[in-house]
Structure 1
Amino acid sequence: MALIPKHPRDPSVSLVAYALAIGVPFAAYLATASPHAYWLDSGELAGAAVALDIAHPPGHPLAALVGHLFTFVPLGPLALRVALAQALCGAIAAGFLFRAIDTTVRAMEVRHDRLSIPIALGATWSVACSYAWWFQSVRPEVYALQALLLAIAIERIVALEAAWPTHDVRPLSVAALALGLALANHHFMAVMALPAIAPTLARVYRARGARSLVVALGALAAGLAAYVYLPVRSSTDPPVDLGHPTDLSRFFWVVSARAYQHTNVLEDAGPIERAMDVMIAIVETVHPLLLVLALAGLWALLRAPGARRLGWVWAAIVLFACLGRTWLGHTAGNPDALGYLLPAFMGIAALAAAFVGALMAQLGGGSARAPRAMLTVLALVTAALGLAQLDQSRAHASLATFHATDDFDDRRIRALPPRAVVIAHLPQTVFRHWELAQTEHARPDVTLVPIPFLGYPGVVDHLVERDPSLRELLSGYLVDGELRQPYLQSLAASRPLLIEMDVRVPRALYETIVPGPGFYEVVDGGATDADVRGGAARRAASLESLARALGPRQDDPETRNQLLWAHYVDALYYAQVGVLERARESVTRALALQPEALELRALSERLAGADGETPIDVSDFTVGLPE
């Protein structure tokens, strides 16, 4: 017997409820989006959407296509338009989540719209207006789009399970199409959703035979066909072509994300500690009361024989999303890590709503039936509590006043000397150059050497083809595994050569580089003490100007990381070359950003005890790369 008896609902009520589920979050996202792409890989994804590039593995073809569609919207800068694509995806995902939760609540025998709709709205808003969901929807990314595709698949599976037994299994085909598209956007998250859907597939196969599954697999393949974009676009020589997937082996290399496989082995934490990190991230995102209600909701669903099917769908979504992020290793403070947990937040909200629905059903039935007005008030209070999440998350999630990337770009890109070659070590620096090249057509005269991506198939060949003067430098790097002074000085003799200071810069090169406003400059004849001190003064003035431009936005976590890393590598360089006064200044600025950093405190103590301008061996203070 179906969990929800068939009876007509007032279409106007359903439409208003659906509009509220989507409209409230969308208004918040729209009001807090930034015209400047955020840090992390937002710059790369914005550029990929504008120019239809091949982004980092697995290529994210669907995100590029959806983002490109929004570049035709005549509203603000291109980066903002790409962010609006994610805002709309995140809002519509909230709409499908609302429908799935509403179905779940009604499956708990809550038959009146005046009760089920406010409960479902409150649960939906509690996660759609949380920082984790909101922040994915105000920047160029892939997670809001992934939330939409998974929400569609889950909603269709929930609808099918709630109507079972039924001859209409078309929701399964829609869910399969959405899952196929999800696999073409972020396949790891899509795979983690499969256990929630598997029992439904088995049930349909037993009741309807193989034909229904064949149709569903066809819909899945149709969604996966979005990957055809990669070889087709790569064959046209796009500006950024990571992996160059024009043949089968390179296509598999990109789609399988082989570059990132087994990176979880680098995590020091064990599985229990990783699981605790994921739980902390969840507790910091959703109210602890919601977690308690979710556990109670799972218990309520499992007690009802028919509703157990829905209980499995939601519990599996939560469990496997958390297991997947645990296996990868959670990165505290990284919003991308929270993006992986969006399905878990969906499940938590639905389970919590199921308990509220079960409670309402108990209060509304039996001999001690609660007054109708009291039940309605309780349902409205549930909606209001979900809506209150707006105020709690707004300050943290808003990018309305964000301009930090633009401030950095002024110094690292727009102010570069003509015909410069920039050797960039950090992925985020590379992404910023790629984004401005596509969105502003900025500095086409500048050649970027993206060190983190030189090992990707086709990248070096692509660079040498566009700028043959790099052949000797890149060949030497591939042979030696690091930058060598003769190749750098040879290139610096013919054009400005700038290098991003980093722990991967061999200390033997310090004698040929001097600090500059945005990057360090390679001096073809070697750097003198006067060169170093003059460059240090110019760099200090540039960083002070940058701090003034950033203003309160220095408190943004990723912006703070950028500043912290700049001051840290400056301190290493100055200490190694013996300009200890500048080294102390850099350490002081870095400690102001991260007072508890052990390496910085140890370096500060060493500098405090050093006499004169004697160089200090900094090998003991070199730590790993920033995220």
Structure 2
Amino acid sequence: MKKSRLPSTRPATLTLLALCSLVIILAASYAQTLAPDLTWANAGADGGDLITAAATRGVPHPSGYPLYLLLARLFQAIPWGTLAWRTNLMSAVFAVLAVTLLFRHVERSFDCPSAWLTALLFGLSPLLWSQAVITEVYSLHVFLAGALLYCYRFVAPSPKNSFFEGTLLGLAAGNHLTILILAPILLWKGGGKAKLFRLSGMLAGIGIYGVLPLHARSGSPVNWGNPVTLQNLFWLVSGSLYQPRLGNLSMIEIVERLRGWAGILLNQFSAVGVLVGFYGLLSPVMASQRKVTLWIFFAFSLFSVLYATPDSYLYLLPAMLVFAWWIGGGLYEIKASFLQKFPQTLKIALFSLIALTLWLRAMFVTLPQVNASQDDRAVEFAEEVLSQAPPEAILVADTDREVFTIWYFHFALGTRPDVRIVAEGLLPFEWYQQTLHSTYPDLRLPSQGQATVATLLMLNADRAVCLLNDTGKPHLTCTGYR
């Protein structure tokens, strides 16, 4: 009588080892290049606003990012490192988790070797890596996009699961509203009951925006829109301040942005990777997911191209995630169609060569582009400004880099509590004047119709006035100092 044999655990063990090796490589790469403090690297000017809002229970720039605030607050409780480093670490963690999800997605769809190479390529791509080492919302954004796609692909249909998927979508909208591009795909999945449960879950998840009115009442000096009324909350969440930028482009600018989009795609994956990706898209293994992935890829790409801001290319991250999925399909199809009869040793050698090529490209091409560990421009700027500012001076900041950097050092770290920070571009807004009044009761403010820097300075003529300059030296120019 033959003894029954237990099922082999070797494939599961190899998959786990592959995943662990991937996490170690990415964690080491991100740790090596993580910004140690506040940084302006990699389009990270918003970092000071986000860190300060989370630390002071405030409200950052539209759309408010309530999910991000709550999670950032948890990371800021870590008892070591600078406040900015702790928040930067959050980006690295969610970038690793996003790549982990991609690995599992491709591994379950195709096989482990294709998944490992795909995940390594995406994890070390310039766009994701650049956002993994600074404070921004995009690492969390791409992780949530990956989680939603994983649920769409692999979670079994049931009322409970449908409600969970909808709730996850709603919560994800609490980090970045463009995630709602996925709503038609997720809400349309399944029958009538599943759609109803998913919609109910989404509405419940979106309720996270209720955090913002609570934060607005906390007395934080960062309180965009003061969203204590429905009108103010809608202004903040809808991004009314930025809506004129959508589509505000000439045809020449659109063509230039399309060229830039193509360049970014090539920069992420190389020409070979792009060819493999399109081969995967057109291959039979992607047939069932072709329409869904095309919608995601082109919808996020179109929004990125048409949104007239210098950093709109960051909205491409979910599109790049989908393209990486195509690459995984392409690698699997190439292996199945052309390498099936190759000796195992040759397959291993080819796999190792590709992995080594990806690593060398990352170390010698990508790392210098995204390395934020040596960027001390924001710290140097703030230290010079705050060390040289006269006592009780009014510091007038204009650009996002100036405003958010000084907010971080002044409000979050408590540096130079005697000075008064004024964001010139926000002065015309009533909510900002209200925030200034509650933050600095001794500051004399103009009426709303006269809310200019000149009027403000005239009303506070007894104080020195300093203009900030983040692009050249000196960073601080003061008048009226006695």
TM-score by length of 2: 0.89
Contact 1:180 1:223 in 2 (8 A): yes
Cα deviation for residue 330 of structure 1 reads: 6.0
Q: 1:479 to 1:522 in 2, by over 3 A?
A: farther
Cα deviation for residue 266 of structure 1 reads: 4.3
Aligned to 1:49: 54
1:184 aligns with 2:174: yes
Contact 1:298 1:351 in 2 (8 A): yes
Aligned to 1:374: 346
Aligned to 1:298: 281
Cα deviation for residue 184 of structure 1 reads: 0.4
1:14 aligns with 2:15: yes
Cα deviation for residue 419 of structure 1 reads: 0.8
C-alpha distance in structure 2 between counterparts of 1:23 and 1:174, whole Å: 30
List gaps (5 residues or longer) in structure 2. 1-7
Amino acid at match of 1:340: Y
Cα deviation for residue 102 of structure 1 reads: 1.8
204, 208, 218: which is aligned to 1:226? Answer: 208
Q: 1:343 to 1:373 in 2, by over 3 A?
A: same
Aligned to 2:400: 427
Task: List per-residue Cα deviations over 1:256-293 (Å, max 9, x = no partner).
Answer: 11110121354344433332222222223321111111
Aligned to 2:190: 204
Cα deviation for residue 523 of structure 1 reads: 3.5
322, 334, 338: which is aligned to 1:359? Answer: 334
Amino acid at match of 2:329: A
286, 293, 301: which is aligned to 1:314? Answer: 293
Cα deviation for residue 434 of structure 1 reads: 1.0
Q: 1:84 to 1:167 in 2, by over 3 A?
A: closer
Cα deviation for residue 216 of structure 1 reads: 1.9
Contact 1:131 1:393 in 2 (8 A): yes
C-alpha distance in structure 1 between counterparts of 2:188 and 2:152, whole Å: 12
Cα deviation for residue 72 of structure 1 reads: 1.5
Aligned to 1:499: 467
C-alpha distance in structure 2 between counterparts of 1:168 and 1:311, whole Å: 24
Contact 1:118 1:382 in 2 (8 A): no
Q: 1:222 to 1:10 in 2, by over 3 A?
A: farther
Aligned to 1:405: 378
Aligned to 2:4: none
Cα deviation for residue 140 of structure 1 reads: 1.0
What is the 5 A alignment of 1:379-390?
379-390=351-362
Amino acid at match of 2:415: A
Q: 1:174 to 1:373 in 2, by over 3 A?
A: farther
Contact 1:243 1:459 in 2 (8 A): yes
What is the 5 A alignment of 1:23-102?
23-39=24-40, 40-102=45-107
C-alpha distance in structure 2 between counterparts of 1:464 and 1:35, whole Å: 33
Contact 1:129 1:389 in 2 (8 A): no
Amino acid at match of 1:491: N
Which deviates the most, 401-410 or 176-185? 176-185
Aligned to 2:449: 479
Amino acid at match of 2:427: L
What is the 5 A alignment of 1:422-461?
422-461=395-434
Aligned to 1:261: 243
C-alpha distance in structure 1 between counterparts of 2:269 and 2:421, whole Å: 42
Cα deviation for residue 17 of structure 1 reads: 2.6
List gaps (5 residues or longer) in structure 1. 1-6, 107-115, 161-165, 503-514, 526-627
C-alpha distance in structure 2 between counterparts of 1:501 and 1:280, whole Å: 32
Task: List per-residue Cα deviations over 1:219-267 (Å, max 9, x = no partner).
Answer: 3233322211101111222221111101111111111111101213543
Cα deviation for residue 320 of structure 1 reads: 1.4
The two structures, once aligned, show a CA RMSD in angstroms of 2.8
C-alpha distance in structure 2 between counterparts of 1:314 and 1:9, whole Å: 32
Contact 2:189 2:195 in 1 (8 A): no
Secondary structure of the 1:204 match is coil
1:520 aligns with 2:477: yes
1:274 aligns with 2:257: yes
Amino acid at match of 2:306: W
Aligned to 1:583: none
Contact 1:420 1:447 in 2 (8 A): yes
Aligned residues: 469
Higher RCO (Cα < 8 Å, 6 or more apart): 2
C-alpha distance in structure 1 between counterparts of 2:282 and 2:314, whole Å: 27
Secondary structure of the 1:267 match is coil
Percent identical residues: 24
Q: 1:26 to 1:501 in 2, by over 3 A?
A: closer
Secondary structure of the 1:499 match is strand
Contact 1:242 1:456 in 2 (8 A): no
Amino acid at match of 1:356: L
Contact 1:464 1:470 in 2 (8 A): yes
Cα deviation for residue 9 of structure 1 reads: 7.5
Task: List per-residue Cα deviations over 1:6-50 (Å, max 9, x = no partner).
Answer: x98843333223323333212211221122211211111121222
Contact 2:162 2:197 in 1 (8 A): no
Secondary structure of the 1:458 match is helix
Task: List per-residue Cα deviations over 1:392-413 (Å, max 9, x = no partner).
Answer: 3112211122211111111112
Aligned to 1:325: 304
Aligned to 1:159: 154
Contact 1:35 1:80 in 2 (8 A): yes
C-alpha distance in structure 2 between counterparts of 1:145 and 1:498, whole Å: 37
Amino acid at match of 2:457: L
Q: 1:9 to 1:457 in 2, by over 3 A?
A: farther
Task: List per-residue Cα deviations over 1:519-574 (Å, max 9, x = no partner).
Answer: 3323499xxxxxxxxxxxxxxxxxxxxxxxxxxxxxxxxxxxxxxxxxxxxxxxxx
Amino acid at match of 1:147: V
Contact 1:119 1:382 in 2 (8 A): no
* Structure (1 or 2) with the larger CA radius of gyration: 1
